Amino acid sequence: MSLTVIRAVAPHSPAGRAGVRVGETLTHVNGRPIVDVLDYKFYSYDPKLTLTLRDPGGAERTVRVRKMEGEDLGLDFETYLMDRARSCANRCIFCFVDQLPPGMRKTLYFKDDDARLSFLMGNYITLTNLSDREVQRIIDLRVSPVNISVHTTDRALRAEMLGHKNAGRGIDIMERFAKERITMNCQIVSCPGINDGPALDKTLADLAALYPAVNSVSVVPVGVTRFREGLYPLESYTRDTAAALVDQVEAFAAAHFEKTGTRLVWCSDEFYLLAGRALPPEDYFEDFTQLDNGVGMLCLLKAEFLRALDLMGPEEMEGAGPFSIATGVSAAPYLRELAELAEAKNPKLAGAVYPVVNRFFGETITVAGLVTGGDLIEQLRGKELGERLLIPANMLRAGERVFLDDVSLDDVERELGVPVFPVAQDGYELLDAMCGAAPPDIPSAAPVQEDEFYRYNPGVRG
């Protein structure tokens, strides 16, 4: 069955006013065939449209639609993509999905590598799934930015790291995108002794040669869980090796800044934490383009928090009382610092910060987004948690109250005997939650991906 079958028509929407019916299939917009969501969004942007529709019996008709430029037609389809998400064709040596224990929910084992999700939801893709036709469509539709998992520009090494004989072709596609002025944000999952050192120097130089089409580059450390039996032998970064990589990237960034006015490449916060280094100041991260890869996330959180603290008056803290925060091991010192700053302004804001050791995936995993409900319960039971427990919202499945191990937020509240507030990565919301305000509901993402989980393929940050 076609996934462009219309499942719902919003009342009073442009399509609804034009008489579009549930059960019809959208085949063309202004004579252009509609294959998936990219075609739909691109060709339905104009204010005057002719829709070609086919009913379940095969009869076709056309309707004319008038609307505001860019206004959504108001149609829902079988899936968000109007197609099936494309699974990854690679066998990456660092793949986080391959390091999962058995028995988790099925959606966590799905590996996507879909260019449409790159444009629409910010997912990173390797380009190995793209046909020549799809490359040309990205160029023709001016799909931009495209978020690309590069890892290395050495074609042979890339084929080895991605476990795909044609992985080197992705660099050719990037060069073609650059000539066509398609903006690219790039990601490098750095594996000790494999694509760092001289290999990283080459990668950064090659990507810089594609500037300004290459708009930003993040370098993140490989995540290594305890479930790697039979997989490629990988090591985690140590304090010394992480520090060496930070020095290498910062030196390259400084030279690029001198020539162009942008650093182009940044290490994730996690590298600074592993190295025991202080995070750079807020202006170092420029436009925070790589925030979803954990670049500058803690710095921005602190900057927002300090501004919120400066603006907040005594009357807004009247409901303040003792609270606690649970987070990953790496971010705990930074959140403890914020809690102490809040308490210094109002002693009622007495907050304990608990770093949660990741026993589910292994202690080498220190980010908050991979803390499970079971580890929270086990390690916080019997602790002094105050009137409420705050956790980063990215511990939960997007828009739901479920942790990666399928323990629910209700389970945690019942076992620990305290209300648990998921807090978004926002300094203002964090201070409000410390002061007793219930955070707003976490908005649901489009029901395609386990968003925060796949951000950790290579990394859920926080």
- Residue 140 confidence (pLDDT): 85
Neighbours of 383 (CB within 10 A): 14
For the cut 60, the answer to whether the pLDDT of residue 462 exceeds it is: no
CATH architecture of 301-448: 3-Layer(aba) Sandwich (3.40)
Structure confidence by residue, pLDDT tens digits, 372-431: 999 999 999 999 999 999 999 989 987 788 898 989 999 999 999 999 999 999 999 999
Of the listed ranges 5-9, 133-137, 247-251, 403-407, the least confidently predicted one is 133-137
Split at pLDDT 50, 70, 90, the class of 106 is: low
Superfamily of domain 6-77: PDZ domain (2.30.42.10)
Split at pLDDT 50, 70, 90, the class of 83 is: low
DSSP percent split of the chain into helix, strand, coil, nearest 5: 35, 15, 45
Strand 265-267 and strand 214-221: the pairing is parallel
Q: Report the CATH number of the 97-294 domain.
A: 3.80.30
Residue ranges, CATH 3.80.30, the chain: 97-294
Segment 438-448 shows an average pLDDT of: 49
Rg of the chain, C-alpha, whole Å: 24
Split at pLDDT 50, 70, 90, the class of 96 is: confident
Of the listed ranges 260-274, 323-337, 351-365, 434-448, the least confidently predicted one is 434-448
For the cut 80, the answer to whether the pLDDT of residue 13 exceeds it is: yes
Quick one: tokens of 398?
């997007």
Residue ranges, CATH 2.30.42.10, the chain: 6-77
- Residue 53 confidence (pLDDT): 93
How far, in Å, CA of 292 to CA of 356, rounded? 22
Structure confidence by residue, pLDDT tens digits, 162-175: 999 999 999 999 99
The predicted model scores a pTM of 0.80
3 state DSSP class of 47: coil
Query: What residues form DSSP beta bridges with 62?
Result: 52
